[in-house]
Structure 1
Amino acid sequence: MNLNPAPASRRRPFTQVDVFTDEPYRGNPLAVVVDAEAMTDVQMQQFANWTNLSETTFLLPPTHPEADYRVRIFTAQEEFPFAGHPTLGSAHAWLESGGVPKEDGVLVQECGAGLVRVRLDGGRLAFAAPPLTRFEPVDEADLVRIAAGLRLPRTALLDASWLVNGPDWIGVLLESAEQVLGLEVDYAALEGLKVGVIGPYSSGDIDFEVRTFIPGDAAAEDPVTGSFNAGAAQWLMGSGRAPSRYVAAQGTVLGRAGRVHVEAVDGDIWVGGGAVTCITGTVVA
């Protein structure tokens, strides 16, 4: 058996970042190949499959004159045009590797969904929520299936909407955070649907509890999901169900302590959180 890397492979700087947390190992991990020049699509997909994380990103020189860097985002099975925690984690890794943005305090990321602005927000990074490419009511047949998958009566789903900004999320609003935390999901009933559930707290420093479910995926429940939170913010703020600034918790039932900071400013919705580097080194890729 030949254990040597392929001739085109070389050692590349690598980092693993925990995102949407200020405390290591309490958020959502992201693998980042900091210099992915000359890697093929096949190599990227193979490496992302090997890391076995929800997403792995590859940093490249930008092709757009306004961008500071370009990122490609892969799950273990496919490439995404955009995802939230990979955006913040990649920006964190790019800055730590010595990247200097063209505009002070704002990074411009180039990805499959276009240009995404990322701002330095105190000790956090925050991205501007990209436009929703699908934002419409959910068919009643799907709502009945979702209610069954969440093991809830149909009437418990107060509202629902497609929230597509890369991943094909369906957002579901429940009456309370406690109801969200108590869900015991039937993944088979949700097969083929990516469902994010959100419910409000009645008091305290946290405004909403979020859980996101990906049937068929090895992870099944995502620890903290930037893309869903971005879509949910646009939906809930637009319908008057959320204030112009709030904090959502996610990952609680998984033993995580993800915190997503959301704020509407001058027509943009910014989705932010902490990022902590947990692993640095090199990889053969």
Structure 2
Amino acid sequence: MKLPYLLLDVFTRERFKGNPLAVVPKADGLSDAQMQTIAKEFNLSETVFLFKPAAERNTASLRIFTPYQELPFAGHPTIGSAVVLGLQHKLNAVRMEEKIGLVTALVDRLDKSVGEARFALPKLSSRVGEIDDMLGIAQVLGINVEDIGCDLYKPGVFSAGVPFHLVPVRNAEVLARLSVNHALKPKIFTHDRHAVYIFTLTPEEPDNDIAARMFGMGLGEDPGTGAAAAALIGLLAENQPFATGQSDFVLRQGHEMGRPCRITLQLRKENDALVHGAIGGQAIIVGEGTLDLGE
């Protein structure tokens, strides 16, 4: 049994930047065990498998695997899959069935191998927990207690399908010098998968508004984490200075790893409640090949 696959770099239009992704576009017939094995073989932060949709009006069904587990939702596989489907089928909008629900993405085809996609969150971000141990946070991240916090932002646990511990830090210099104690991390960041997203505002940087880094989910550091950016929308919404209105942000991630990512965020509030969240980014196809399953 042989299957084609594509390799992409997501949240960038530059080859060998951004967050790598493997896409298996004809995965019908694969078992759960086979998909997990293939994801482990690629050993990327995520591998996405595309299937025929359950509903005829939809474009594809998606399943997303890290090397260790399946995820109900992830941002960079969603962006990458939308770009692949848009480029292959010449579509400006794609409807993707994910474990978390139906995701509709708008796609701009920039050239034969590059596209840009943006989608509304299928599940709005909400606060699912608190983080009160400031000393513990500082010890895990290798910073001082007074480095925690930025503007009005304070740590919290948010989820738009996958929970993340969100930790604001004082500035980009603090963000750059993090030294994570991975052994201590699960004792302080106790929610599912122990993932922590550290961020700061970047008013001194003309190309973006926010900088972030993500550690966890068995991946070490991840260069570009759409699900974490989606979770961050909930905390951003809580701290916007309006009850009704819209805000747009550009977030950078992965710069400290030499894999710069650019993620766009959008939120809208009505009567002080988050009613819309969206993320977007570009992706480029950098390679293709064939999986030989030996069957």
Q: TM-score, normalised by structure 2?
A: 0.84
Give the corresponding residue for 1:77. 68
* CA distance in structure 2 between the partners assigned to 1:95 and 1:226 by the alignment: 19
* CA distance in structure 1 between the partners assigned to 2:248 and 2:131 by the alignment: 30
Q: Give the SS at the match of 1:149.
A: helix
Give the corresponding residue for 1:198. 199
1:232 shift after superposition: 0.7
Structure 1 residues 241, 271: CA separation in 2 closer, same or farther (over 3 Å shift)? farther
Amino acid at match of 1:211: R
User: Percent identity over the alignment?
Assistant: 32
Q: Is the 8 A contact 1:54 1:76 kept in 2?
A: yes
Specify which of 161, 183, 188 is matched with residue 188 of structure 1: 183
* CA distance in structure 1 between the partners assigned to 2:148 and 2:122 by the alignment: 26
Task: Name which of structure 1's ranges 239-248 and 194-203 shifts more when overlaid on structure 2.
Answer: 239-248
Q: Is the 8 A contact 2:5 2:22 kept in 1?
A: yes
* CA distance in structure 2 between the partners assigned to 1:26 and 1:250 by the alignment: 11
- Measured against aligned partners, the alpha-carbon deviations of 1:127-158 in whole angstroms (never above 9, x if no partner) come to 212325751341424x4422210122334322
Matched, 1:283 2:287: no
* CA distance in structure 1 between the partners assigned to 2:208 and 2:241 by the alignment: 15
Structure 1 residues 260, 22: CA separation in 2 closer, same or farther (over 3 Å shift)? same
Amino acid at match of 1:173: P
Q: Is the 8 A contact 1:180 1:211 kept in 2?
A: yes
Specify which of 94, 117, 122 is matched with residue 125 of structure 1: 117
Q: Is the 8 A contact 1:73 1:79 kept in 2?
A: yes
Q: Give the SS at the match of 2:155.
A: strand
1:122 shift after superposition: 7.6
Q: Is the 8 A contact 1:163 1:169 kept in 2?
A: yes
* CA distance in structure 2 between the partners assigned to 1:220 and 1:140 by the alignment: 24
Gaps of 5+ in 2: 111-115, 270-274
Specify which of 251, 256, 262 is matched with residue 253 of structure 1: 256
Structure 1 residues 130, 157: CA separation in 2 closer, same or farther (over 3 Å shift)? farther
1:39-118 equivalence runs, <5 A: 39-98=30-89, 100=91, 105-118=92-105
Matched, 1:148 2:149: no
Task: Name which of structure 1's ranges 202-211 and 129-138 shifts more when overlaid on structure 2.
Answer: 129-138
Q: Give the SS at the match of 1:274.
A: strand
1:241 shift after superposition: 7.5
Q: Is the 8 A contact 1:106 1:119 kept in 2?
A: yes
Give the corresponding residue for 1:274. 282
Structure 1 residues 241, 151: CA separation in 2 closer, same or farther (over 3 Å shift)? farther
1:202 shift after superposition: 2.2
Give the corresponding residue for 1:5. none
1:44 shift after superposition: 0.5
Q: TM-score, normalised by structure 1?
A: 0.87
Amino acid at match of 1:120: V
* CA distance in structure 2 between the partners assigned to 1:13 and 1:122 by the alignment: 22
Structure 1 residues 107, 98: CA separation in 2 closer, same or farther (over 3 Å shift)? closer
* CA distance in structure 1 between the partners assigned to 2:141 and 2:32 by the alignment: 36
Q: Give the SS at the match of 2:232.
A: helix
Q: Give the SS at the match of 2:184.
A: helix
Q: Figure out how many residues of one structure are paired with residues of the other and give that number.
A: 269
* CA distance in structure 1 between the partners assigned to 2:11 and 2:148 by the alignment: 27
Measured on the aligned residues, the alpha-carbon RMSD in Å equals 2.2
